[in-house]
């Protein structure tokens, strides 16, 4: 264990050192399959930007054993079938590691192709549960754990009469599957309305009208891509209900695009980065300081898309720096499975639990959008 931690510390020590060494030789290739067009393009563009910042950051710090990192980007068009085609092609060329699956639909489509033989695959959707010991890992905090944090926040604020609005897509269904267990933890919460909507629908007015009539003190809305539809409906009837929702909307582009319809009280359950001001001294705080400094140096303010991609790529880089740039997919999987005490922008990672994620509800914070600061801040 001590040897493992020493090796890990050595790998991490290379990461913050800008300009430590020149890179040379053949680049170490990493493929990212992202939704650069289609309904998920806002998220995909943010993830691509985050990975580009990380590529520069890694190469400024000496690359991977002095070889430059190069990330190739492919567009899945927010389409699971396209994601499968692209992933199959990359795997056939012998890729050792792939970042893909920005939405659960894409991740679930490629998971059967990767989980046994690889390549090592880091899905950027948190709304999946890869099989234990497989070649597939999931980024960020699971939606059920994020919803748990939202309900806990409602309880702490004394908002006991609540409404639920869940989408019928994979992300919404994932949260629905855990709702009964979550609500049992908070006996003071009473669900006065529980509605569902299809993210493909042009309106959620009927559901919002029913919820408004039940007079909830707060509402949890969960969806992979249909949240703006619900915001339109809330805005149209002048609703003042405090809203907690998916952190997938924590994008500067989304905040700008939907500025006129954002709820007055809008809360997000999110990883540590979103409440940076409340993170105490220690390795995670240090990792966040490095994270924000890298983006500042590139002139990019990070949001949820960049955050979702940052730690997975950082973990792959740590593996390749430790194992060597030509490590096989199974070697990378074994390395990550044993990784613990890894401080990232989202919290402390411990993959020994076998959940293929490494994070837990303790890594969750509640953030709110600040119009005056034009960013997310820790919620009161």
Contact 176, 195 (CB under 8 A): no
CA distances from 277 to 273, 281, 361 (A): 9, 10, 19
Cα 230 from Cα 225, distance rounded (Å): 11
pLDDT lower than 70: segments of the chain: 1-21, 224
pLDDT, tens digit (0-9, with 9 covering 90-100), for 228-261: 999 999 999 999 999 999 888 888 988 999 999 9
Q: What does the DSSP 8-state code read for residue 290?
A: H
CA distances from 156 to 55, 149, 160, 214 (A): 41, 10, 9, 21
Which pLDDT belongs to residue 369? 87
- Sketch out the chain's domains with CATH numbers: 2-141+279-360 (3.40.50.2300), 143-270 (3.40.50.2300)
Which pLDDT belongs to residue 21? 60
Cα 285 from Cα 343, distance rounded (Å): 9
List, in order, residues 6 or more apart from 12 with CB less than 8 Å away: 318, 342, 343
Which pLDDT belongs to residue 16? 44
Which pLDDT belongs to residue 274? 82
Q: H or E segment at 193?
A: strand 190-197
CA distances from 196 to 25, 121, 166, 182, 245 (A): 54, 32, 5, 18, 14
Which pLDDT belongs to residue 25? 86
211 preceded by a cis bond (ω within 30 of 0): no
Which pLDDT belongs to residue 4? 40
Cα 204 from Cα 236, distance rounded (Å): 11
List, in order, residues 6 or more apart from 334 with CB less than 8 Å away: none
Q: H or E segment at 335?
A: helix 329-337
Which pLDDT belongs to residue 93? 95
Which pLDDT belongs to residue 13? 38
Contact 229, 199 (CB under 8 A): yes
Find how far residue 315's CA is from the centre of its chain: 14
Half-sphere exposure of 126 (CA within 13 A, CB side): 30
Cα 258 from Cα 232, distance rounded (Å): 9
Contact 121, 95 (CB under 8 A): no
Beta-sheet pairing, 190-197 with 243-245: unpaired
Where b means 16+ CB within 10 Å and e means fewer, 290-313 reads bbeebbeebebebbbbbbbbbbbb
Q: Output the DSSP codes for 128-192.
A: --PPTTSSEEE-S--HHHHHHHHHHHHHHHT--EEEEEEESSHHHHHHHHHHHHHHHH-TT-EEE
Contact 219, 241 (CB under 8 A): yes
Output the pTM of the full model.
Answer: 0.85
The dihedral built from the CA positions of residue 34, 37, 38 and 42, taken in this order, carries a sign that is positive
Q: Output the DSSP codes for 62-116.
A: TTBTTBPEEEEEEE-TT-HHHHHHHHHHHHHTT-SEEEE-SSHHHHHHHHHHHTT
Q: H or E segment at 310?
A: helix 304-323
CA distances from 344 to 12, 314, 341 (A): 10, 8, 9
Length of the chain, in residues? 380
pLDDT, tens digit (0-9, with 9 covering 90-100), for 6-36: 334 434 434 444 444 677 789 999 999 999 9
């Amino acid at each position: 264990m001590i040897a493992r931690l020493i090796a890990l510390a050595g790998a991490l020590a290379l990461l913050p050192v800008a300009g430590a060494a020149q890179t040379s030789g053949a680049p170490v290739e990493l493929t990212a399959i992202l939704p650069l067009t289609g309904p998920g393009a806002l998220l995909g563009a943010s993830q691509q930007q985050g990975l580009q910042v990380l590529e520069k950051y890694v190469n400024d710090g000496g690359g991977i054993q002095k070889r430059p990192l190069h990330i190739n980007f492919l567009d899945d068009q927010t389409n699971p079938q396209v994601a499968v085609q692209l992933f199959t092609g990359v795997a056939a060329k012998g890729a050792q590691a792939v970042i893909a699956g920005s939405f659960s639909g894409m991740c679930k489509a490629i998971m059967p192709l990767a989980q046994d033989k690889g390549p090592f695959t880091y899905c950027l959707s948190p709304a999946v549960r890869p099989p234990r010991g497989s070649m597939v890992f999931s980024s960020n905090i699971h939606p059920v754990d994020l919803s748990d944090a939202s309900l806990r926040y409602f309880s702490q604020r004394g908002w006991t009469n609540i409404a639920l609005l869940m989408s019928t897509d994979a992300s919404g269904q994932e949260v629905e599957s855990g709702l009964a267990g979550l609500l049992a933890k908070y006996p003071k919460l009473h669900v006065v309305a529980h509605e569902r909507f299809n993210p493909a629908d042009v309106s959620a007015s009927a559901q919002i009208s029913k919820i408004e009539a039940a007079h909830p003190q707060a509402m949890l809305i969960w969806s992979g891509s249909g949240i703006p539809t619900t915001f339109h409906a809330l805005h149209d009837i002048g609703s003042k209900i405090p809203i907690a929702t998916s952190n997938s909307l924590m994008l500067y582009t989304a905040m700008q695009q939907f500025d006129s319809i954002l709820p007055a009280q809008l809360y997000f359950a999110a990883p540590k980065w979103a409440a940076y001001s409340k993170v105490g001294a220690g390795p995670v705080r240090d990792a966040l300081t490095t994270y924000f400094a890298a983006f500042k140096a590139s002139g990019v303010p990070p949001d949820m898309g960049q955050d979702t991609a940052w730690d997975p790529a950082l973990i792959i880089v740590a593996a390749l720096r430790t194992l060597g740039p030509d490590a096989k997919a199974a070697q990378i999987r074994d390395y990550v499975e044993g990784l613990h005490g890894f401080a990232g922008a989202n919290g402390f990672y411990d993959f020994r639990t076998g959940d293929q994620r490494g994070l837990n509800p303790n890594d969750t914070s509640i953030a709110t959008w600040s119009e005056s600061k034009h960013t997310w801040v820790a919620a009161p």
